[in-house]
Amino acid sequence: MRVVKTAAPPLRDVPLQVTNPERIPARRYYDEEFYKLECERVWPHVWQMACRLEEIPQVGDWIEYKILDKSVLVVRTKTGIKAFHNACRHRGMRLASGHGNCKTQGFICSFHGWRFNMDGENTFLFGRHLFSEKNLEKAELALAPCRVALWGGSAFINFDDNAPPLRECLGTLADRLEAHNVDKLKVEWWRSAVLPVNWKLAMEAFMEGYHVMRTHPQLQALSTPQLMLYGPDQGSGSPTPARTNITSREFVDLSIRYMERLSDGMAGMVHGSEVAIAKTLRDMEVPDDLDGAAMAFYGRLGAEITAQGRARGVPVPDVNQVAVSHPVKAVEFLFPHYFLLPMFSAMSSYRIRPLSPETCLFEIWSLALFPENEERERPVAPVPMPHDDPSFPEIPRQDYSNLPAQQLGLHAGGFEYMRLSKNVEGMISNYQRLLDGYIAGVEPSKLAKATQIVCSGFDSPIFDIGF
């Protein structure tokens, strides 16, 4: 992938286009017209994470997925997962909301009582003789199907029958996360908040590690990777690679404390059981040099997480092997609105949905691997909490705390564009230019290729995405 050095070519019909890849026009985060274009030209054509499959574990279980003015029912049928547009074929009533099971009763429209089974077929039509036969074609009476694809333990929907397949859009990211057993993860907890910001702004708080220094000082102080990348002198802000003078023993200690803080503050990403294993390694023998110590400590940790998990019947991949064969970033983005944050065997996950130009719904899951025969409760969508609710984990709460002030700042006179680091804030530019591609109507195969480039993990540079 080439790093973009020049301006992006102008695209047809894209107001507020990102023409300088290092600068994002501020109005893209509140302009009504731009929001309307996203609603009309982006969301109807992209693969959206609609639900986790555990939300519909039994035949007949269904869940409603809402995006903007659309609603889709995702149903587990006897023959697999299906999705339907949520509208009665009589006079358009939204058929169902929330979640439930339709195995015995089907979906019953509350207006005139028409019924549909889990396969979407019409099974009851009150006063059939009152309609002309021509108006009751069997196929037309069935719920309109919506495209659905399964990946990574979730169902994804797409309103566009001509969009390239989900796998083609995700590219090698799908293979890499599959090697980490993403499809075997289960929900440990699920929370949500309505944030008073544009959906893109909320996502961008998680697209780089550059903010850790100021927003998560508790992590910065403990993070050996951060110290190695940015150096101990944070005052200058110069991201020159630098080594610290810590000893190997201190490195092990710092690493364990970092994991502990990350686990407390984030859950899924580093699981409590992994921290417990790390603590048992505190006194292990490590070489004097830092690289050797890092190899020894993380090598042993990965081996223990794998062995101890498997001994409990947990489907843990070989953590050390997949770290080499299928390396992943700490934050992986699945365009347009879904994140997975893998570290060892557990992951955190985010999904963001626009509610209006300046509000969005932000969901967080803590996902972990559990013994395969263990019964888990069906997870149910949480009631959104205030974004500053103290029961949110520390790290996302810190991230959320910046967002309302940033949204306000974008409206300030004299602030015309965000200024991005071309080296570590490139993901923001990359996916924003992909949005422009959708708005301009770039051909689907090119959009799929660009999506693969955009889905290359956080802290990435600005890439040439092909248009």
Of the two residues 211 and 326, which places its CB atom closer to Fe ion in the complex?
211
In angstroms, what is the minimal distance from the CB of 161 to ligand FES?
A: 25
CB 184 within 8 A of CB 463: no
Helix axes 248-266, 394-410, angle to 10 degrees: 70
State yes or no: cis peptide before 44, omega within 30 of 0: no
Between 112 and 243, CB nearer to ligand FES? 112
Number of residues in contact with Fe ion under rule CB under 5 A: 1
Rounded to an integer, what distance in angstroms lies between the CA atom of residue 432 and that of residue 21?
9
* Residue 93 interacts with ligand FES (CB under 6 A): yes or no: yes
C-beta of 113 vs 371, nearer to ligand FES: 113
Give the integer Cα–Cα distance in Å for 167 and 173: 9
Interaction between residue 64 and Fe ion (CB under 5 A): no
In eight-state DSSP terms, residue 177 is H
User: Minimum distance between the CB of residue 123 and ligand FES, rounded to whole angstroms?
Assistant: 12
Residue 90 site contact among Fe ion, ligand FES, none (CB < 5 to 8 Å, cut-off depends on kind): ligand FES
Residues 108-127, mask of contacts with ligand FES (x by CB under 6 A) = -x-xxxx-------------
CB of 354 to Fe ion, least distance (A): 21
What is the C-alpha to C-alpha distance for residues 133 and 330, in angstroms, rounded to an integer? 58
Residues 376-405 that bind Fe ion (CB under 5 A): 399
- Please say which residue, 85 or 387, places its beta carbon nearer to Fe ion: 387
**The one-letter amino acid at 89:** R
> Which of 166, 202 has the CB closer to Fe ion?
202
3-state secondary structure of 419: strand
Q: Minimum CB separation from Fe ion for residue 443, in Å? A: 35
Residue 88 or 277 having the CB closest to ligand FES: 88
SS3 for 324? Answer: helix
The count of chain residues that interact with ligand FES, using the rule CB under 6 A, is 9
The correct pick among 90, 147, 397, 422 for binding ligand FES (CB under 6 A) is 90
Q: What angle do CA 221, 224, 226 make, to 5 degrees?
A: 75
399 touches, from ligand FES, Fe ion, none (C-beta below 5 to 8 Å by class): Fe ion
The residue written with tokens 């081996």 in the block is 303
Nearest to 67 by CA among 87, 92, 50, 89: 50
Q: Is 140 exposed, middle or buried (0-12, 13-18, 19+ CB in 10 A)?
A: exposed
How near is the Cβ of 114 to ligand FES at its closest, in Å? 4
Identity at 115, one-letter amino acid code: R
3-state secondary structure of 100: strand
Which residues, other chains included, contact 145 with Cβ-Cβ below 8 Å and sequence gap of 6+? Answer: 82, 83, 84, 85, 120
By beta-carbon proximity to ligand FES, the closer residue of 100 and 441 is 100
Name the binder of 125 from Fe ion, ligand FES, none, CB < 5-8 A by kind: none
Residues that bind ligand FES (CB under 6 A): 88, 90-91, 93, 109, 111-114
Residues that bind Fe ion (CB under 5 A): 399
